[in-house]
Amino acid sequence: MRSLIAAITAIAPLFERIFVITHVSHLKAAFHNTLEVTRTPHGSQVRLVC
C-alpha cells in the first residue's frame, strides 16, 4: 500500500487531477482532498472533503 501511495504522490505534479477510487480507509487517509460519494433514495450525492 505504501508503494502505491508513493507512486501516486510522485506522479501527482505531472497531472492536474488524479482520481483514486477506493473503499480502503488507509488509502483514503493518504490524500488531502477527496470526493465522497453517498447513495441516497433520490440518487447519488457527491461531497468535497478537504
Could you give the C-alpha distances from 14 to 5, 10, 17, 27, 42, in angstroms and in order? 15, 9, 9, 20, 37
Find out whether 5 and 25 touch, Cβ atoms under 8 Å. no
pLDDT score of 38: 95
Say yes or no to pLDDT of 1 above 90: no
| Tens digit of each residue's pLDDT (9 = 90 or more) over 13-38 | 999 999 999 999 999 999 989 999 99
pLDDT on residue 15: 97
Whether the predicted pLDDT of 7 surpasses 90: yes
Contact 28, 34 (CB under 8 A): yes
- Cβ-contact 36, 49 below 8 angstroms: yes
Strand partners for 39: 44
Strand residue runs (E) in the chain = 34-40, 43-49
